[in-house]
Amino acid sequence: MLHLSQDPTEPAFVQDPYPFYDRMRAGGDLCFWEDYAMPCAVSHRAVQALLRDRRFGREIPADRAEPHPPHLAPFYAVESHSMLELEPPRHTRLRGHVLRAFTSRRIAALGPEIAALSQTLCDRMTGAGADLLPAFCQPLPVVVICRLLGVPEAMAPQLLEWSNAMVSMYQARRDRAVEDAAARAAADFASFLRGYVEDRRRAPSDDLISHLIATEDAGDRLSPDELVATCILLLNAGHEATVHTMGNGIKTLLETGQRIDTGNAAALSEEILRFDPPLHMFTRWAYDTVELHGHRFAPGDRVALLLGAANRDPAVWPDPHRFDPARAAAPNTSFGAGLHFCVGAPLARLELQIALPILMARFPAMRLDGAPRYGNLYHFHGLEALQVTLR
């Protein structure tokens, strides 16, 4: 197996990780990333196979679990009940609750609201220029997920602050200050939601939190901690990746001169997801001895699945570094696959396919104001700002 070193916080890598992925992929399906001290799946076939292989999973094996430091207790009090970090049977049970409330009919019904909100956000951009991240990319998905869950829209800025603090725990730049901020955010987020869940118990409505409570009352109870953790996961995941996807996608559209409308929105959205995805690494634990792509995994070994590398595998997409919405369809890895396939994928796709055409139609002369820069966010991949001239 090829061994390579690359600091994930190094500025050149932050701005363009794809050349390093090419170097990794040149050695085969797996490459050992020395900075993470683990093998990485870098080809499309290896990533897709590992996403579906039940011999690997997200939940930490009991013999590898270590006590969490006391200052992180509030953060892990939430994470320990997150279905993203669990495997069957707990994962199956929690995901089932979400899917019963997060139906395709309910998602499709949000279409008119997404369109109206997109128009409203465009109306607010009255000057000659704007930073589209706070003006459009951030408020749209967070307001949509607030409405879906039934959380007051006035809480959107606070939810963004808590979410950003919590997901920073998965970034390569993590340090004690990041940990302390994540712990405070988790405690405050959980406290708010416990109070809000009690409000919804007293006065249910037609929202996701009320439906989760209703399924709980129907017999298969979610514990209070499970219910809070599930709501936090849905709020965080419901907008975090979509913000990055929208920002990266608008940047790419403006750089390549592509125009998006209702006729080509589906194809362009899929190419946006492939070309510059919001999440680049997802890890798994081996639960058995597994021989895969010439490497022997022992129980308790970790492997990183490089989604960003898989999405630019030339074995699947010829000339993969070219943005080409006319490509033959092939499954990208941006939403994962298998048991942990993103439950919010239909909503994210709907938001892209509705919001981006409205934005581009409203500002047909829009162009980039300078070169956008990516933030030091790895494993995530998103912009610091997206300054544009609107007319």
Largest Cα–Cα separation, the chain: 60
Asked if residue 381 lies in contact with residue 17, where contact means CB atoms within 8 angstroms, the answer is yes
Beta strands in 125-246 (DSSP E): 129-131
DSSP state of 318: S
**In 3-state terms, what secondary structure has residue 297?**
strand
370: left (phi over 0), alpha (psi -120 to 50) or beta: left
Residue type (1 letter), 233: L
Q: What is the pLDDT of residue 330?
A: 86
Distances (CA, A) of 41 to 10, 58, 70: 21, 15, 33
Q: For position 236, what pLDDT does the model report?
A: 87
* Pairwise CA distance, residues 98 & 90, whole Å: 13
pTM given for the model = 0.94
Specify the pLDDT at position 70.
Answer: 96
Contact 321, 314 (CB under 8 A): no
Long-range residue pairs from 155-160, CB within 8 A, at least 24 positions apart, any chain:
155/192, 158/192, 159/189, 159/235, 160/239
Q: What confidence score (pLDDT) does residue 216 get?
A: 52
Host H or E run for residue 33: strand 30-33
Below-70 pLDDT ranges, the chain: 215-219
Residue appearing with tokens 């597994």: 290
175: CB partners within 8 A, 6+ apart: none
With a CB cutoff of 8 Å and minimum separation 6, the contacts of 253 are 259, 260, 268, 272, 356, 360
pLDDT at 215: 67
Q: Is 86 helix (H, G, I), strand (E, B) or coil?
A: coil
pLDDT at 219: 59
Tell me which residue of 221, 220, 163, 156 sits closest to 190, measured CA to CA: 163
Q: What is the H or E stretch that residue 94 is in? A: helix 90-101
Q: How far, in Å, CA of 110 to CA of 207, rounded?
A: 12
Q: pLDDT tens digits, residue range 5-36?
A: 999 999 999 999 999 999 999 999 999 999 99
From residue 201, alpha-carbon distances to 148, 205, 288 in Å are 17, 9, 43
Helices (H) and strands (E) in the chain, counts: 16, 11
Contact 300, 61 (CB under 8 A): yes
pLDDT for position 301? 97
CATH of 2-389, one of 1.10.260.40, 3.40.50.720, 3.80.10.10, 1.10.630.10: 1.10.630.10
